Chain A
Amino acid sequence: MSPHSCVKIRKEWDIVSARQLGREMAKKLGFSTVDQARIATAVSELARNIYLYAEEGQICFEVFETIERKGLRMGAFDTGPGITDISQVMQDGYTTSGGLGAGLPGVKRLMDEFDIQSEIGQGTQIKTVKWVR
């Protein structure tokens, strides 16, 4: 397993390959089945956001270890239109695509750490971490 790998998101099917890679890495790192599903679901949400709103971007995974614990870092990067109001998209139930509006706030609950940065016209960066329990 390479400690760092990325999946480009251009087509709809890329969402599936991104979450398969996420699950595979989570499995190898020793995450429980539930946490594997959490990670795969979070990947799916972020990959879909890229596909729906930015059209092109990538999902990157990185295994990393500190003295106390190890974890999986997962980032979603795109060069799309950016998000105008971050606090709005972090609200449960907010959607512009007719979805459930569970995506981003859901990802925040699925992962242990969550950071989002976005600039209009520049793109959006979301960085998340899940720690091995």
Chain B
Amino acid sequence: MNSKLIQIAIENSDTIVQMWLEKIDSLKVDKFSSSTSDELFENTNREFVNVIFTSIKQQGSLIEVVAFSEKIITLGWPLSYITDGLQMFRRVTIDFILSNSDQVDTSFFSELLTSVDRWVEPIIHQLINEYTGSWEHILSIQRIALQELSAPLIPVTDGITIMPLIGTIDTERAKLIMENLLEGAIKHNSEVVLIDITGVPVVDTMVAHHIIQAAEAVRLIGATCILVGIRPEIAQTIVNLGIDLTNLPTKSSLKKGFTSALEITNRKIVDLKPKEDGIEEMIKSLQGE
């Protein structure tokens, strides 16, 4: 019975394809922006329906389906295009076969439904798998990228490390910051760690609490923590909220913080050539040779 139905479908594939193409055209209006050209849409539709027929002909082979799904995913078309298209195919095929059969009883009807389902279901299944697989992949990559961004640690020079923080800090991220900070300080053998909060939009009691705890932990492992990048409005909120940062060295800018970090590590920045000398030399060279 199934093979007979396959035969009918294949023999009449031209008609079914035609009916399907007419229906799928209605999808274009809702699902696609005008940026998709009519030509691309039409070609993809033809390829889509061919893939479906190839799969039916080859008794459910999914090789072409995989290749096609990759193409659609790259194009960035929505999953609903695929699922709606396949549902339409199911409906069109059933309609066609029913209207071209002489005797239609319930057993024939149920056989027909089962057969068409058997053709279409594996394709839907495969396509959804491909789609969600690609989503999950993107999501996991983004999650890793976000984690890398959320608590970066830069060893600028021997014994001094900077952690620039950008964006909102929640409890989860605060924990990550603390762990990265401590492990990084030990890994880079940092005597001083600078936490730069220039890019943190809001410092409330919770954020301040986490930063203080991180600084305390840094002190326990034997390093010094300096909080830098305190903007005027942050200083205001810190005091207005009654947050006590007296135990924590703070500096308004990274530059100042870095200078005191150098002091702590017994170093300072020296200009290799005094500026005045340079000007004198320049004047001499302009006057004479």
Contacts and interface: CB of A to CB of B under 8 A. Distances in A.
Interface of A: 32, 34, 133
Contacts of B179: 32, 34
Q: Dominant SS at the A interface?
A: loop
Contacts of A32: 179
Interface of B: 172, 175, 179
4 contacts: A32-B179, A34-B179, A133-B172, A133-B175
Contacts of B172: 133
B262 to A, nearest CB: 31
A42 to B, nearest CB: 16
A34 B217 CA distance: 12
A133 B179 CA distance: 13
Contacts of B175: 133
B186 to A, nearest CB: 12
A111 to B, nearest CB: 14
- Closest 4 pairs between A and B when the two form their complex, measured CB to CB: A34-B179, A32-B179, A133-B172, A133-B175
Nearest to B178: A34
A133 B172 CA distance: 9
A125 B175 CA distance: 29
A34 B181 CA distance: 13
Contacts of A133: 172, 175
A34 B180 CA distance: 11
A133 B176 CA distance: 11
A22 B53 CA distance: 59
B159 to A, nearest CB: 24
A32 B172 CA distance: 14
B220 to A, nearest CB: 13
A91 to B, nearest CB: 18
A32 B100 CA distance: 65
A32 B183 CA distance: 13
Nearest to A34: B179
A92 to B, nearest CB: 14
A77 to B, nearest CB: 30
Contacts of A34: 179
A32 B175 CA distance: 12
A32 B182 CA distance: 14
A32 B176 CA distance: 11
A34 B221 CA distance: 14
A32 B179 CA distance: 10
A38 to B, nearest CB: 11
A34 B172 CA distance: 14
A41 to B, nearest CB: 14
A72 B259 CA distance: 46
A123 B14 CA distance: 82
Nearest to A32: B179
A26 to B, nearest CB: 16
B214 to A, nearest CB: 13
A108 to B, nearest CB: 15
B4 to A, nearest CB: 45
A36 to B, nearest CB: 12
